[in-house]
């Protein structure tokens, strides 16, 4: 927990901009017209960091939204996962798309290559249920 207080720190963008930056370290203030004209804002850099999403998860947890917090924690991990890998994992999770070994392989990749243990555990849980419900190729 980051010790954030939802009553005083949320919205982070307006109440705690000091805590927020883009993946390359630009502050919210830097995302302005002058910087845009100077050409220093890159489209792919304008997104939430894992740290920001973890803070949002903590805020959600603090207002008793446990499942939303879990979702945001998985999201924090997925910030490290490239777009094409995300789409490949999504496809693998669809019914009848993968065999057990393939799904387990994705879980390992998420865990080891991308440091995404919560997502990996989620994929393994899906694998277990898919086997029980006959949705494995």
State the residues that interact with other proteins by CB under 8 A.
6, 10-14, 17, 20-22, 28, 31-33, 36-37, 41-44, 46-48, 52-53, 56, 59-60, 63-72, 74-79, 81, 83, 86-87, 89-90, 93-96, 119, 122-123, 125-126, 129-130, 132-133, 135
**Closer CB to other proteins, residue 41 or residue 102?**
41
For residue 120, the minimal CB distance to other proteins (Å) is 11
For residue 28, the minimal CB distance to other proteins (Å) is 5
* DSSP line for 35-85: HHHHT---GGG-S--HHHHHHHHHHHHHTT-HHHHHHHHHHHHHTTS-HHH
Quote the DSSP letter at residue 27: B
**Closer CB to other proteins, residue 47 or residue 112?**
47
Residues whose CB is less than 8 angstroms from the CB of residue 30 and which lie 6 or more positions away in sequence, other chains included: 40, 41
**Closer CB to other proteins, residue 111 or residue 122?**
122
Please answer whether residues 79 and 50 qualify as being in contact, where contact means their C-beta atoms are separated by less than 8 angstroms: yes
């Amino acid at each position: 927990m980051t010790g954030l207080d939802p009553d005083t720190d949320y919205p982070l963008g307006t109440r705690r901009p000091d805590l927020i930056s883009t993946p390359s370290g630009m502050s919210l203030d830097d995302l302005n017209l002058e910087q845009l004209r100077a050409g220093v804002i890159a489209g792919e850099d304008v997104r939430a960091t894992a740290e920001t999403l973890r803070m949002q998860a903590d805020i959600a947890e603090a207002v008793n939204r446990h499942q939303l917090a879990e979702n945001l924690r998985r999201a924090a991990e997925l910030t490290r996962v490239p777009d094409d890998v995300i789409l490949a994992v999504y496809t693998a999770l669809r019914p009848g798309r993968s065999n057990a070994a393939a799904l387990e392989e994705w879980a390992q990749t998420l865990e080891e290559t991308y440091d995404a243990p919560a997502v990996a555990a989620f994929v393994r849980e899906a694998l277990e249920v898919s086997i029980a419900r006959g949705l494995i190729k």
